[in-house]
Amino acid sequence: MTNFKDKVVWITGASSGIGEALAMAFAKEGAKLVLTARRREELERVKQQTALPAANVLVLPLDVTQLDQAQPAADQVIAHFGHIDIMVHNAGVSQRSYINDTDLEVYQSLMNVNFFSTVAITKAVLPHMIARKSGHFIVMSSVAGKIGTIMRSGYNAAKHALQGFYDSLRAEGYQHNIKVTTICPGYIRTNISLNALDAAGDKFGKMDSNQATGIPADVCAQKILNAVKTDKKEIYIGGFKEVAAIYLKRFFPSLLFDQVRKNIPE
């Protein structure tokens, strides 16, 4: 079982939602944190709330879509702490728009945030982990990484891409003692729907009812830590409906497809 005491954990999307909850959970375990998001003031707030010694938290503001900044950021983390034990790919943005209405640029933005940013940072961190023969990637996919749903086409596509890429990394990394845990949350009580992109790339600005009644972010974070401690390869976190949908697709795909097409978003 993994002990997180003094482990260096880099979390993207750390300023809110699941990322913030993960920062708190790792802090309670005595980890050293690197907090990344675009808003420095929010990262500083999270840093204060962890109650960790200042030397144990590096605030590292970064727009993850600036792919050429991934390597300098990784170099800065290694210069500060000496190494990286756990890389948490949590930054992401959802979508609320129909395919026929959605600008191509919106799809490019969704892929940049949800997929290419993780690949860029992984490519920056991976050689360091291979040299140390140690490392763990925690990848925030989604139930949407397993099932395509209405008004989520670009988000679904990006999360499906994450699944394939990090399944490959898990296989390739095995010989170097590098692990991958893929997280597939369902409805978690965060602002993800408020910040989702609409057809023109603007913020959707509405709270989904399923999101509002979802699992609290801190409960989700603890489940993630438990999965990493026990070296789970992939976990599903959500209510009965979301998790059941994954198994329906596996064993009764036609039934699942019928249900999805009838599930018109509010």
Query: Residue 88: CB partners within 8 Å, gap ≥ 6?
Result: 9, 10, 11, 12, 19, 22, 138, 140
Query: What does the DSSP assignment read for 54-106?
Result: GGGEEE----TT-GGGHHHHHHHHHHHHS--SEEEE-----B---GGG--HHH
Beta sheet of 86-89, edge-to-edge order: 57-59, 32-36, 8-12, 86-89, 135-140, 178-185, 234-237
Query: Which residue is it, tokens 């679904």?
Result: 156
Rounded CA-CA distance 209/187 in Å is 10
User: What does the CA dihedral 35, 89, 176, 170 come to, rounded to 10 degrees?
Assistant: 170
Please give the span between the terminal C-alpha atoms of the chain, in angstroms, as a whole number: 42
Q: Count CB-CB contacts under 10 A for residue 154.
A: 23
Residue 247 bears catalytic tag: no
Q: Which of 98, 107, 155, 247 is catalytic?
A: 155
Query: Which residue is it, tokens 């675009």?
Result: 38
Rounded CA-CA distance 123/246 in Å is 30
Rg (CA), the chain: 18
Catalytic residues: 155
